[in-house]
């Protein structure tokens, strides 16, 4: 029915070396993990990198979605917003600032706050991994269209 395995537009070597500029510690850590999965790596200087990602703005916060009878929050929405521009080594700006926005809801009626904090940390990491995958996907898609 026309579906084929995704083309071998894997990250070209030049894009396997990424310099992340201005990212928070957590984003940097997740970026390193996801890149390792694609046998890429974070370089320590822009010169050594095939592509430079300038993180302009990173907002990681939460908001209350619903309240219990006592007026205490029992459903939280964690949101993460990342604004970045991606510049290839030759200075060509590949992707103009379409921000990555991810939000996850999770039940937390503050009964077992320590356990729920652990859960929040796990969700935050999953959100960051998803953000990194979205960024890499966009790079891959924009490269694929470039190639055509």
DSSP 81-142: EEEEEEEETTS-EEE----EEEEEEEE--SSSHHHHHHHHHHHHHHHHHHHHHHHHHHHHHH
Question: Which among 75, 78, 64 has a CA at the least distance from the CA of 130?
Answer: 78
Neighbours of 12 (CB within 10 A): 13
> In the complex, what is the shortest distance from the CB of residue 27 to another protein, in angstroms, rounded to a whole number?
9
> By CB under 8 A, is residue 38 in contact with another protein?
yes
> By CB under 8 A, is residue 147 in contact with another protein?
no
> By CB under 8 A, is residue 123 in contact with another protein?
yes
> By CB under 8 A, is residue 104 in contact with another protein?
yes
> By CB under 8 A, is residue 34 in contact with another protein?
no
Nearer to another protein, 6 or 91 (CB): 6
Out of 12, 13, 14, 37, the only residue in the binding site for another protein (CB under 8 A) is 37
Q: How many residues bind another protein (CB under 8 A)?
A: 77
Strands 73-88 and 93-95: antiparallel
Out of 15, 78, 108, 136, the only residue in the binding site for another protein (CB under 8 A) is 108
């Amino acid at each position: 029915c026309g579906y084929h395995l995704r083309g071998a537009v894997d990250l070209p070597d030049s894009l396997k070396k990424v310099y992340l500029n201005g990212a928070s510690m957590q984003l940097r850590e997740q970026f390193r993990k996801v890149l390792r999965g694609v046998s890429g790596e974070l370089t320590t200087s822009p010169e050594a990198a095939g592509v430079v990602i300038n993180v302009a703005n990173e907002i990681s916060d939460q908001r209350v979605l619903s309240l219990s009878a006592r007026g205490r929050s029992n459903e939280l929405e964690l949101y993460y917003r990342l604004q970045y521009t991606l510049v290839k080594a030759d200075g060509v700006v590949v992707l103009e600032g379409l921000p990555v926005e991810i939000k996850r809801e999770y039940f937390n009626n503050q009964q077992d706050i320590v356990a729920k904090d652990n859960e929040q940390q796990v969700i935050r990491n999953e959100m960051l991994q998803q953000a990194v995958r979205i960024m890499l996907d966009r790079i891959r898609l924009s490269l694929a269209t470039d190639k055509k």
